[in-house]
Amino acid sequence: MGQSSAAPAPETLLSGADILVHSLIRHGVEVVFAYPGGASMPIHQALTRVVGQLRTILPRHEQGGGFMAHGYARTTGKAGVCVSTSGPGATNFVTCIADAKMDSIPLVAVTGQVSTNVLGNDAFQETPMVEICRGITKHHYLLTRTEDITRVVKEAFHIATTGRPGPVLIDVCKDVQIKKVVPEWDPPMELPGYRPLRKATRAELEAVIAAIRASKKPFIYAGGGVTHSSASAELKEFAELIGAPVGLTVHGLGTFPADHYLCLQMLGMHGTVYSNYAINEADLLLALGVRFDDRVTGKLSEFAKHGKIVHVDIDKSEIHKNKFAHIPIHSDLKLVLTDLNALLKEERNADLIGGGRYPDWWRQIDAWREAEPLKFAEPEHAIIPQFAIRRLWEILRSRNQLDNTIITTGVGQHQMWAAQFFPFNRPRKWITSGGLGTMGFGLPAALGAKVAFPDNLVVDIDGDGSFLMNVQELATAYAEKIPVKVLLLNNQHLGMVVQWEDRFFGSNRGHTYLGAGEDHPPYPDFVKVAEGFGIPGRSIGDKADLDSALVELIEAPGSFVLNVHVPHQEHVLPMIPAGMTVKDIIKA
């Protein structure tokens, strides 16, 4: 183990690796998730020299480390940092980088690269990472000069965390890491075309006010941009001022309190019936920090076609990309909402304040809410996933632990049920892979979240298919003493694909069964798997055992895996089939 060291003196001759590591520290990095190899060894040697200043966590797979960085970034809003070697180590980051691009997550991925003298020669473990990642990064660098390290790191953090957040790749040649120079610690950035901060004009804001005045059925469609701009408080004030209903995307959950009267919960493919009915009938759609994703819109030509669309987004390329906006506003969302709220409070706009302007609209919405609530049928003894998730939420609520709980998920049915039946009142407590839909996300993301917030309870709600994809990170949880809890909803199938097989392919099973045969006990034995990593677990299958098992999960002093056997016949409902419309919604 290396020794703690102070920051180097300004004129000290340092290796590129040491310069890189101290640059990370200077940009406020407290933890890196790093897996070593030949092309990144100098970086790891440098990391051993800053123990006490920077924590290095060793994942058991580079993808695990990348998603730990996601968990850290998604809960803090800071850039998550992950490090790998070249070749297969670097390509194991590709999914993490693509996921960060889709979900607008600030990520700095540092990869080792072969030395400059053999670049392009197919040297051992060489891959052209910049070319591979060109379409899935916000920006990317191939570092071939040690003198450029401080500038590149400075630019990388600036780009990753400003405007629309996203991933930045820094591919560092090995000889660049070894060469010694006297660094310039605060170099000028060379980003002449990058202007991330945008502010709406007075004319644009007045157009929104006029649209609200003309509306009889407004609807606020809010997404992940609310989180990224730290605009939750402003969104709540705005919705309350005009008295409009709020529907949330999967990444918008928690940005507006789920227990608020104005909240219509999640919309889209597996959203509530009433939020989808409302957005379909609205005459004014206030789209805030969203990208009109196909999982929300279904058939684009039929989506929200009855109303005027206001679209606010920090990324100009999203405006008009999928849906034409009658009032397009390229701006930071927090600034827009702050200014709109100020305008609404002016005496001339007093007639817009409060929901009293829309009595007929709210009568209709309340009728939809009463007629079509989220619901599920409970078997007498079997545990169904929806019930298990709801009971976890209820138990945490009864213990006043909800505000200090972070939920991560894998991808599949369990993810959608968690979105439906575990309500969130605060942002950055719900961590999931949305745009890319990456299985294996939940466990490593939980580890990253727990590192960021060690005093919070962190629970990975997972499925057996997703959990197996990065199950090796249980070793990281144990060895690094990062206590996370796993609520494993084990149906022995790839549940979401099974649901589509049932609905659209006559229940013909196309390799979606994960067990070892109908006469074989549930496979694998996840409790034994967990115990092999040094982590306790428990398996249950009867509803009578659920509450005590959930309490054991919550109160376990370290990591814990609760393996809940659930039937595979359950479907996530409601459901709007892909490419269809709200008129085609499946309710049962």
Domain boundaries, given as residue ranges, for the chain: 14-181, 202-371, 385-565
Q: Given 62, 126, 234, 570, which residue is catalytic?
A: 62
Q: How far is CA 486 from CA 142, 180, 329, 473, in A?
A: 38, 46, 41, 12
pLDDT of residue 220: 98
Specify the CATH architecture of the domain 14-181: 3-Layer(aba) Sandwich (3.40)
pLDDT of residue 9: 78
Please choose, from the candidates 565, 513, 518, the residue with its C-alpha nearest in 3D space to the C-alpha of residue 382. Answer: 565
pLDDT of residue 2: 41
pLDDT of residue 4: 42
- The whole-angstrom separation of Cα 474 and Cα 411 is 18
Helix, strand, coil % over all residues of the chain, rounded to 5: 45, 15, 40
Q: Which two tokens stand for residue 160?
A: 């990753």
Average pLDDT, rounded, for the chain: 96
Q: How confident is the model at residue 190 (pLDDT cuts 50, 70, 90)?
A: confident
Q: Given 68, 416, 439, 496, which residue is catalytic?
A: 496
SS3 assignment, position 487: strand
SS3 assignment, position 136: helix
- Is the pLDDT confidence value at 355 over 80? no
424 is known as an active-site residue:
no
Strand arrangement, sheet containing 405-409: 430-431, 405-409, 457-463, 485-490, 560-565, 537-540
Alpha carbon 126 to its chain centroid, in Å, reads 30
Partner residues linked to 248 by β-bridges: 222, 266
DSSP classification of residue 86: S
Q: Given 30, 45, 53, 125, which residue is catalytic?
A: 125
- The whole-angstrom separation of Cα 83 and Cα 112 is 8
Q: How far is CA 412 from CA 105, 482, 500, in A?
A: 21, 25, 11
124 is known as an active-site residue:
yes
Please choose, from the candidates 168, 64, 178, the residue with its C-alpha nearest in 3D space to the C-alpha of residue 106. Answer: 168
Q: How confident is the model at residue 12 (pLDDT cuts 50, 70, 90)?
A: confident
Percent of the chain residues past pLDDT 70, beyond the cut: 99
Q: Are 352 and 208 in contact (CB under 8 A)?
A: no
List the CATH code of the domain at 202-371: 3.40.50.1220
Q: What is the dihedral of CA 394, 397, 402, 406, to 10 degrees?
A: -20
The 10 Å Cβ neighbour count of residue 216 is: 11
SS3 assignment, position 246: strand
- The whole-angstrom separation of Cα 508 and Cα 198 is 51
Q: Which two tokens stand for residue 377?
A: 């049928």
499 is known as an active-site residue:
no
Chain segment 486-521, per-residue pLDDT in tens: 999 999 999 999 999 999 999 999 999 999 998 999
62 is known as an active-site residue:
yes
- Average pLDDT on 9-15 reads 87
Chain segment 544-574, per-residue pLDDT in tens: 999 999 999 999 999 999 999 999 999 999 9
- Is the pLDDT confidence value at 366 over 90? yes
- The whole-angstrom separation of Cα 561 and Cα 529 is 10
Q: Given 78, 101, 154, 174, which residue is catalytic?
A: 174
DSSP per residue, 511-562:
S-B-SS-TTSPSSS-HHHHHHHTT--EEEE-BGGGHHHHHHHHHH-SS-EEE
User: Whole-prediction pTM value?
Assistant: 0.96
Q: Are 70 and 100 in contact (CB under 8 A)?
A: yes
422 is known as an active-site residue:
no
pLDDT of residue 6: 64
**Residue carrying the six token digits 């298919």:** 465
Chain segment 144-181, per-residue pLDDT in tens: 999 999 999 999 999 999 999 999 999 999 999 999 99
In CATH terms, are 202-371 and 385-565 the same topology?
A: yes
Chain segment 251-291, per-residue pLDDT in tens: 999 999 999 999 999 999 999 999 999 999 999 999 999 99
Specify the CATH architecture of the domain 385-565: 3-Layer(aba) Sandwich (3.40)
Chain segment 276-334, per-residue pLDDT in tens: 999 999 999 999 999 999 999 999 999 998 899 999 999 999 999 999 999 999 999 99
- Is the pLDDT confidence value at 5 over 70? no
| List of residues 6+ apart from 374 with CB closer than 8 A | 265, 272, 420, 421
- Average pLDDT on 103-116 reads 98
Q: Which two tokens stand for residue 473?
A: 């990170």
- The whole-angstrom separation of Cα 167 and Cα 69 is 11
- Average pLDDT on 7-16 reads 86
